[in-house]
Structure 1
Amino acid sequence: MTGQTTGHLTILYRGPLASCDYDCPYCPFAKRRDTPEQLRADRAALERFAEWVAAQDHTVSVLFTPWGEGLVRSWYRRALIELSHLPHVERVAIQTNLSHRVDWTAEADPSTLALWTTYHPGQVPYERFLAKCGDLNARGIRFSVGIVGQPEHLAAAQNLRADLPPDTYVWVNAAEGRTYTDAEAAGWTAIDPLFSFSRHPHASRGQACRTGDTVISVDGEGTVRRCHFVPAVLGNLYDGSFRPALAPRPCPLDVCDCHIGYVHLEPLGLYDVFAGGVLERIPHL
């Protein structure tokens, strides 16, 4: 059905924030030091977006995917708290390095809030990160834990899997541009049984995908695209011009190699694998 105005809408939001308190050499995003003016602009954009979500008369789920680290900024924490309490928001989640304290989550609704966390060896002491995970568990907050599959990270990933509760999902992202032998892949698969989905890019051209229909990407200006990886504009969030453009449509790209993209490819069936935890990357077990 085209021109969707009701029904559930999943939104991937990425504002202008690009500053991060880590400096990982394998990070695919170019980082900057945000000026006070840039931070004010990011805050204004985020608050405008949160107000839009609050005003909707249909169900919404939101995943914040900032280029930088959002949880060190008070406005991201506040938005997550406020959105988690809205009855029409089914899930609100954010990708984070978990460097900030987590006591703010006590103000959120734990049935709606979730965190997609990543451990970065060399950027934070292992025991400190593990303690944050223990704190989240004690607070009843849903979260996944992941790591980039660099060879030098294997031991740390094995430690995470051993030290975290069995029901905490530990995912592994294939390192950018890296080809894994079957033996190497087996080591990562022992940690993350779903590593095969990340190991190879997915041929996606012409494949059915939920993006552009029930899933959209939004930037700080409110520009709506089907996903972060397809530049074509569908309209604007705030004037409603995106709604008539919503419709089932095949992927126009040759390959999709990022989880926040390929999880929405219908032939992969990952909505069944991650039922109830698509945004926070928690599989249904």
Structure 2
Amino acid sequence: MDLTILYRGPLASCDYDCPYCPFAKRRDSREQLRADREALERFAAWATAAGEAGDRLKILFTPWGEGLVRSWYRRTLVELSRLSHVERVAIQTNLSCRTEWTAEADPESLALWCTYHPGQTPYDRFLAKCRDLAGRGVRFSVGVVGLPGHLADARRLRADLPERVYLWVNAADGHTYTDEEAGVWTDLDPLFPYSRHPHRSAGLPCRTGASVVSVDGDGTVRRCHFVKAELGNLYDGSFRAALRPRACPLAVCDCHIGYVHLESLPLYDVFAGGVLERIPAGFPVTTA
């Protein structure tokens, strides 16, 4: 079975305090961190053994907090990247961690989805880490939240990053863009129009629940992070019988990790080979 897994364990702590994030500067207790590590190790053991069952996996870690400052996330990414049945293992990160650990991973399967948060880290420090990743041959994308105060930094990033690194822009939650404002962001990210408005999804076919699933720290499987109905459990295998094509039950989908899987959108072609790490095929792209 070819399966894409979006894994989100209990980790909710972050070292940044972005005003647009509900988990800013939240601290997990020692017990919560231990529980997260144990949950991740359990998932990694399942993913390692999945090859024996004939599964081919693509895995994206989408923690509420920052995972790469924790040794168990770095270790898991390295170990999973070396498995022949894991085609891609990626993580969303603010890149506040060191980057030397990536040298231990297989660059053919490891990927990073990096977000720059102006005001949370010195610009030169973030850029240096991006350049280090590029020098090591690591697959990664870089993005910003499309707030007016971030525009100058986003333009600077686009100018300073290697041309082959995709710079994406997320529409800010609750922010309405005029056509002129959207055009400014589209000049930086030709795919920004996909993020500008929520996508109608009710009744439309989506790959989630069939070839894409969400898994939490207890192993509960759902079709995606945004639909709460349970499909079963990863560890007892009960989820497998529930996998089938199905329509989206929600009115709209407004998050990239959700709507990228809608069959009504062409994004599997746009991001062919880089769906999880948000890297378009044949980047740089010229049109949305």
> Does the alignment reach a TM-score above 0.5?
yes
Equivalent residue, structure 1, for 2:27 = 33
1:139 and 2:136 correspond:
yes
Aligned-pair RMSD on alpha carbons? 0.8
Q: Deviation at 1:225?
A: 0.2
Greater Cα offset, 146-155 or 29-38: 29-38
TM superposition outliers: structure 1 runs of 4+ over 6 Å: none
State whether structure 2 residue 255 is matched by structure 1 residue 261. Answer: no
Residue-by-residue CA offset, 1:180-200 (whole Å, 9 max, x unaligned): 000000110000000000000
Distance 1:54 1:31 in 2: 33
Distance 2:116 2:263 in 1: 29
- 1:28/1:210 Cα in 2 relative to 1: closer, same or farther (>3 Å)? farther
Task: Give distance in 2, aligned partners of 1:55 and 1:269.
Answer: 33
**2:47 aligned residue (44, 53, 77):** 53
1:154 corresponding residue in structure 2: 151
Which residue identity does 1:10 align to in structure 2?
T
Whole-Å separation in 2 of the counterparts to 1:150 and 1:28 = 17
Gapped regions of structure 2 (runs ≥ 5): 283-288
Deviation of 1:32 after TM superposition, in Å, equals: 2.7
Deviation (angstroms), 1:167: 1.1
Distance, in Å, in 2 between the alignment partners of 1:161 and 1:21 is 25
CA drift at 1:166? 1.3
Cα shift at 1:44: 0.2
| 1:114 to partner: Cα distance | 0.1
Which residue is equivalent to 1:67?
A: 64
- For structure 1, the 5+ residue unaligned runs are 1-6
The equivalent of 1:3 in structure 2 is: none
Matches within 5 A, 1:216-227: 216-227=213-224
Aligned to 2:95: 98
CA distance in 2, matches of 1:247, 1:255: 21
**Of 226, 243, 247, which residue of structure 2 is paired with 1:250?**
247
Deviation readout 1:138-162 (Å, 9 max, x if unpaired)? 0000000000000000000000111
Total equivalences in the alignment: 279
Deviations 1:187-228 (A, max 9, x none): 100000000000000000011100000000000000000000
CA gap of 1:155–1:30, structure 2 versus 1, over 3 A, is closer
Q: Is 2:269 the counterpart of 1:272?
A: yes
Tell me, yes or no, if the aligned pair for 1:31 and 1:67 is still in contact at 8 Å.
no
Q: Output the TM-score relative to the length of structure 2.
A: 0.96
For the 8 Å contact 2:210–2:245, the answer to whether it is kept is yes
Residue of structure 2 in register with 1:23 after alignment: 17
1:118 aligns with 2:112: no
CA shift at 1:267, angstroms?
Answer: 1.0
Matched, 1:205 2:199: no
Amino acid of the residue matched to residue 5 of structure 2? Answer: I
State which of 162, 187, 193 in structure 2 corresponds to 1:196.
Answer: 193
Aligned mates of 2:24, 2:43 — CA distance in 1: 24
Task: Give the Cα–Cα distance (whole angstroms) in 2 for the partners of residues 169 and 224 of structure 1.
Answer: 31
